[in-house]
Amino acid sequence: MAFPSLPQKIEIMEVCPRDGFQSVKEFIPTEHKVAIIDGLAGTGISSMEVTSFVSPKAIPQMADAADVMAEFKKKWQGKVTSIALIPNLRGAEGALASGVDWMNFVISASQDHNMANTKRTVDESIAEMEKVAALKGSTKLRVSVATAFACPFAGPVAPEKVLRVIDRALEAGADGITMADTIGTADPKYVTSTLSVIRQKYGDYPFTLHLHDTYGMALANMVAAMGLGFASFDAAAGGLGGCPFAPGAAGNAATEDMANMAESMGIATGIDILKVLSVVRTMESAYGLKISSHLAATKMGRDGGEGSCS
Amino acid sequence: MAFPSLPQKIEIMEVCPRDGFQSVKEFIPTEHKVAIIDGLAGTGISSMEVTSFVSPKAIPQMADAADVMAEFKKKWQGKVTSIALIPNLRGAEGALASGVDWMNFVISASQDHNMANTKRTVDESIAEMEKVAALKGSTKLRVSVATAFACPFAGPVAPEKVLRVIDRALEAGADGITMADTIGTADPKYVTSTLSVIRQKYGDYPFTLHLHDTYGMALANMVAAMGLGFASFDAAAGGLGGCPFAPGAAGNAATEDMANMAESMGIATGIDILKVLSVVRTMESAYGLKISSHLAATKMGRDGGEGSCS
């Protein structure tokens, strides 16, 4: 049996500064965030989710969103595309004022998770997203469909619920769509099933996948998605991440693990894996962040290679 | 695109007491080993690699092989199939004297790794295996082809080298064959490529796969193998494991992660995952072993479930 045809190259967006940092309870000083972001921006990635314009009451870690964005723009504007998560119109106003390239509006396909995450029904979030779309101007809008495969409260999520959010986002003028396995319970068979429905309806629209690695299935799910031609993925350096409002959600697929597998399979990522590892080392040693990537635990990661990574 | 057809059920052999324990530097007292083995034997698995009859100079951790086997037989003989690793004829003598059900003779497809692992050439190991086969009597013999995909020293291993060891093992009367990704660098595309060659030559012979998770690809590789009809896997509770003679090798795929993904995909394993988690917890809390499974780190593992595992 031949392996399914794979993309020649994939795009990996670095989301550690948003999805990773938000999972850290103790406030990471702004200058530490900026140092890590600078390191990650220089690894060859083309886009980064830099921060989140959310209520500091909901996520105190992101209270310095405007400052972090300002620092990012000084060095990386025009070199690395910036994106910021927004949960609502107020977030959009903050993001637009910061001059971010893309806003990332999150709507859960599952009502239960959307209520827990945003205190809104799905329809209310869609209405809010439409307001954001109306005032985005030249700033791009990505809509992320959270719990696109499973919900921590309601279990498996019917593809129809995902399609509905995607339809409304595209109608509203969204420039990109992400589907998120928020809690990481999707398995490769389930991912293939839902993504096949998506492919059938939207052809080769360039969706992005956001795969959490809670149960260790993120890379297997990535392979399943690539087999269907999906070529855009979120990942977080060091495997950091988690959703404070999704019980059981753990870290993202680690950027270095994802890039390593892709490159091993002959799929270009543009990412300098050793540079990512170097930043991850610093995140751990200098800033005390808890790392969970496989590559960071290998001899290659620790000692710079002993011929063990063929 | 439909997902490739998958086995309805798979067999998972628990190898933590051999491959897991051998990676632990400090000697695990025999009574601790026996307590863990008893716990794992009661999780619904049908076979277990209980120990290794190797030189205690090479691997001091296995110095109590005969005692461990004797304790295992007292409680589990006839209920859980026992297997013991043997690197040579002397190991076979010890294993046969212990009354083990299966012996597991390891030969690397790669000359470099075979020299490092056994201080023999591949041909010398094959000759030794033939001697073991000649005296096995009613005891079953499994031949494990180490570095069947990649070698820590020589890089990718040509399938022809794997076929050669398999041919000689089958000619000698081996009752089972395992192919091992000793260092965990194989990716799903590479695994599919080598296993397709194997399928083409040996039809539906029930090979076993032994997949290390060094780079986080073990579950993705398992999916690739299941897509080709392979239905027998080794795994180690808690993700313990590693080869002292293969730089960079890290733990096995964790039994609980492997079983969780399989069951999620509708593939029966017969394993009580919560029981495995309970033993893994004890391995960590009572015996200080370093656990690296995803499931053990989830809320489900820690708190017995919060509805997050759909």
CATH number, domain containing residue A182: 3.20.20.70
Set of chain A residues whose Cβ sits within 8 Å of the Cβ of B188: 3, 220, 223, 261, 265
Residue B32, domain member (yes or no): yes
- Our count of domains for chain B comes to 1
Residue B239, domain member (yes or no): yes
Active site residue B16: no
B310 to chain A, any CB pair closer than 8 A? The answer is yes
Cross-chain CB nearest to B219 (options A155, A217, A298): A217
Identify the pLDDT of residue B205.
Answer: 97
- Please count the other Cβ atoms lying within 10 Å of the Cβ belonging to residue B266: 12
Write out the residue range of the structural domain in which residue A51 sits. Answer: 11-303
Identify the pLDDT of residue B153.
Answer: 87
State the virtual CA torsion across B161, B164, B168, B173 in degrees, nearest 10.
90
A293 to chain B, any CB pair closer than 8 A? The answer is yes
Looking at the DSSP bridge assignments, the partners of residue A253 are none
Identify the pLDDT of residue A299.
Answer: 60
Cα distance from A180 to chain B (closest Cα, Å)? Answer: 15
Q: Look at B224 and A297 and tell me if their CB atoms are within 8 Å.
A: no
Residue B6, domain member (yes or no): no
Q: Give the model confidence (pLDDT) of A13-31 as tens digits.
A: 999 999 999 989 899 999 9
Cross-chain CB nearest to A247 (options B151, B219, B306): B306
Cross-chain CB nearest to A247 (options B215, B265, B299): B299
Give whole-number Cα distances, A177 to A43, A187, B257, in Å: 24, 21, 30
- Which of A175, A173, A160 is closest to A205 using CA atoms? A175
B192 to chain A, any CB pair closer than 8 A? The answer is yes
Residue B220, domain member (yes or no): yes
Cα distance from A261 to chain B (closest Cα, Å)? Answer: 6
Identify the pLDDT of residue B110.
Answer: 94
Identify the pLDDT of residue A141.
Answer: 98
Identify the pLDDT of residue B306.
Answer: 29
Residue B308, domain member (yes or no): no
d(CA A227, CA A193): 12
Cα distance from A49 to chain B (closest Cα, Å)? Answer: 24
Catalytic positions of A: 243
Identify the pLDDT of residue B246.
Answer: 61
Cα distance from A197 to chain B (closest Cα, Å)? Answer: 9
Give whole-number Cα distances, A49 to A15, A145, A273, B23, B307, in Å: 5, 16, 19, 39, 29
H or E segment to which residue A56 belongs: none
Q: Look at A220 and B223 and tell me if their CB atoms are within 8 Å.
A: yes
Set of chain B residues whose Cβ sits within 8 Å of the Cβ of A213: 216, 294
Residue B3, domain member (yes or no): no
Identify the pLDDT of residue B300.
Answer: 52
Give whole-number Cα distances, B60 to B25, B34, B56, B64, in Å: 9, 17, 4, 9
Q: What interface predicted TM-score (ipTM) does this complex get?
A: 0.92
- Contact residues, B window 158-187, toward A, CB-based 8 Å cutoff: 183, 185, 187
Q: Which residues of chain A have pLDDT under 50?
A: 301-310
Residue A183, domain member (yes or no): yes
Residue of chain A minimizing CA distance to B198 = A1
Identify the pLDDT of residue B249.
Answer: 61
Residue A253, domain member (yes or no): yes
Residues 6+ apart with CB under 8 A from B199: A1, B228, B229
B238 to chain A, any CB pair closer than 8 A? The answer is no
pLDDT by 10s per residue, chain B, length 310 = 567 889 999 999 999 999 999 989 899 999 999 999 999 999 999 999 999 999 999 899 999 999 999 999 999 999 999 999 999 999 999 999 999 999 999 999 999 999 988 899 999 999 999 999 999 999 999 999 999 998 888 889 999 999 999 999 999 999 999 999 998 999 999 999 999 999 999 999 999 999 999 999 999 999 999 999 999 999 999 999 866 666 666 788 999 999 999 999 999 999 999 999 999 999 999 999 988 889 988 865 433 332 221 1
